[in-house]
Structure 1
């Protein structure tokens, strides 16, 4: 059992011990009011000793860096011993409260390794066996059989109620914690699997970038020669200029990939409006045919320090919107709240429910207008930075992709 789990289990056990001490004290108070002649001194001394041990254990737990299973075993053994002493002075095995031995055993089975749990079981059985022959009878149990039976019935009822409440509450809480831990482990495994897929994809991307370098250089040389050659059709000059711009943009992207691969770079501070203007200029160079309507936030732009991967992720989302509806792409920004929000809206055919559910995972199916790998990369980028990407179909047609990226307060001026 991990040290952190043992520490939590010990803290919970000490809280249960305080509850037992309180209930036992109330029981002794009721017995005193009924005039029962019990051995008060040893019983009260046992409760006081248990309370003192509980206080010392609580103080030690606060100072200790970790708790071993044997510490928890010793505390449970002391609880069993204290219960045995109280039962010895109050009827022994004839006392219906003897079934309370099951509670520390259940707790041990839930929290301790099997070896320590068996040691406690042996101790509880030995105590129970001892109490069958050696005990101080309850006052009046021999002279008044009706009173003895009544006490036994009431004790069984009280024991059942207390055991039921403790077992259901304790086991229910611990089961919920186990389920939460299982969910966390499952989410961690899924995230680890996604990370492995992204690493494999990054390796393939780096290989592809290396292989694309030579053909892009060849294309750049050929386009340069064609631009210098005399052409009868002036439209070809415009096409060649566009091709030259596109090839240069591809080469610049590959150069950035090569220079930033494996290097953690510090993000440079930049105003949000300036960053968006630079991003849109870069995108319009790649997609000059797209009709864009950009509405920035009228509030004063804060200073941001955005990761280099944010630009690539946003370009992917913009390209997907342009693929879906090149005739109209609406872009809205909002930086006046506690997060940098960017909405990209298109007028494409929209996405089916299955595509919306699968968007953001590697290998997800792609619609006719995109929303495949680009959205998955964007999801991975913004989740790593504590943000998210939300996709929804618009009422009038098309898809709205909303990027929410919280930034640290020191990044905003």
Structure 2
């Protein structure tokens, strides 16, 4: 029962990061939408100042400038507070967006009340607030916005005083009221196009990122299932491999084997391959946290690569293998079986495509380790390159093909790295693995601090001994 619980917790732990990513993504979209509202509010402040001045001094329609400018000052102050809060990186909820739109509706209602109420041609700006609510808010919030704006419109018709405008609608565009309606329509249309387009782009980006997170969660779940199957198979293979090793040891001592050098050579080769199988099984169990007596060893990047290449070269039938380790500065790291298996998978695929020539190059690129594997085979098909790293994308034509590169890409991604593949112009393929050093090397600062502390303790002890000697 405890094992099952631990296994379920491990699987759940694999699936939690995508859920956290979804929450972080929603939070980012909320911040972007709030930024859009803040920008729109600055447009509203500038536009209202310009409109009030033009109407008051240009059309000579007297407006209560003091009160209207006070309302604009309150709106600008609220916008600055919203801007400062948005920079605190706190979560933006539906309630906050709803409150922000309600403040916009309240200030618009106050300005219309002071400038003609329902007879003001800019009364149709209420539709802008409702439209933004329909895009940004949840359903209940949007319908609440519809009710509130309708009540505000009705209240303006009941309690505000109309503007002293002549009823000259028959003059067409020469009528001040028609001109105001035209400006209101153009303003509504322009703002809707600009900001709805931006908000829709944010939502599309959110949906695309969400689809990517779901795909990643599905792939990680697939990896978990494969890991459980591999761990179970490793447990089952341990006993028959040990039995085969014992049998081969007995064969080596039999007279008709010991007297035939050719048979002894074949037995030795079989023992070598069984030992390799046992090492693979041990690596699987070690990755699953169930080591068979082995443990991770501290090494360096160059030593890790050199040992990996040496082991791979001696266990594969490679004819011409070039290895160039240009990493330069050697850094401490822990020998990781997952990284080792990842690089070996790339080499195995390259060897299968190009058994006559193969090259591996390691280099120190900025703050990353780059491993480049080059072969002289037929290269990748365009469809494989397009879906590189996806499971079961292979040109080998056998069941389970493509899982090697799928695991390579996902192992690299877990440490913040990436894998890229391309075809060479002269023929063959090239696969480049980039791993951030921060994720694979050991921290040197802690060691240095510990060494300094040890030195200080040793110095203090020496001084104390010296004082004791003098006494």
* 1:299 and 2:328 aligned: yes
Deviation at 1:366, TM superposition (A): 4.5
Tell which deviates more after alignment, 247-256 or 132-141: 132-141
Q: Which residue of 2 aligns with 1:384?
A: 414
Equivalents in 1 of 2:440, 2:342: separation in Å? 23
Equivalents in 2 of 1:353, 1:65: separation in Å? 44
Q: Which residue of 2 aligns with 1:244?
A: 271
Gap change, CA 1:345 and 1:201, over 3 Å in 2: same
SS of residue matched to 1:333 = strand
SS of residue matched to 2:326 = coil
* 1:228 and 2:257 aligned: no
Gap change, CA 1:236 and 1:148, over 3 Å in 2: closer
Deviation at 1:354, TM superposition (A): 2.8
Deviation at 1:60, TM superposition (A): 5.9
Deviation at 1:74, TM superposition (A): 3.8
Deviations 1:324-364 (A, max 9, x none): 33332222221254321222222333332233334422233
Gap change, CA 1:371 and 1:306, over 3 Å in 2: farther
Deviations 1:128-184 (A, max 9, x none): 233345433334536998699521232122212221221111111111111111111
Instruction: Kindly tell me the number of residue pairs found equivalent between the two proteins.
Output: 413
Tell which deviates more after alignment, 58-67 or 303-312: 58-67
Q: Which residue of 1 aligns with 2:222?
A: 197
* 1:213 and 2:243 aligned: no
Q: TM-score, normalised by structure 1?
A: 0.87
Equivalents in 2 of 1:345, 1:58: separation in Å? 52
Q: TM-score, normalised by structure 2?
A: 0.77
Q: Which residue of 2 aligns with 1:345?
A: 374
Deviation at 1:122, TM superposition (A): 1.7
Gap change, CA 1:184 and 1:5, over 3 Å in 2: closer
Deviation at 1:7, TM superposition (A): 5.6
Q: Which residue of 2 aligns with 1:38?
A: 63
SS of residue matched to 2:434 = strand
1:18 to 42, 56, 59: 42
Q: Give the conservation status (yes or no) of the 8 Å contact 1:350–1:398.
A: yes
Q: Which residue of 2 aligns with 1:405?
A: 435
Q: Which residue of 2 aligns with 1:273?
A: 302
Gaps of 5+ in 2: 1-22, 445-471
Gap change, CA 1:54 and 1:385, over 3 Å in 2: closer
Equivalents in 1 of 2:385, 2:28: separation in Å? 40
1:332 to 338, 344, 361: 361
Q: Give the conservation status (yes or no) of the 8 Å contact 1:268–1:306.
A: yes
Q: Give the conservation status (yes or no) of the 8 Å contact 1:358–1:365.
A: no
* 1:258 and 2:292 aligned: no
Equivalents in 2 of 1:138, 1:407: separation in Å? 71
Within-5 A mapping of 1:52-201: 52-58=77-83, 65-66=90-91, 68-132=93-157, 134-139=159-164, 141=166, 150-201=175-226
1:284 to 296, 304, 313: 313
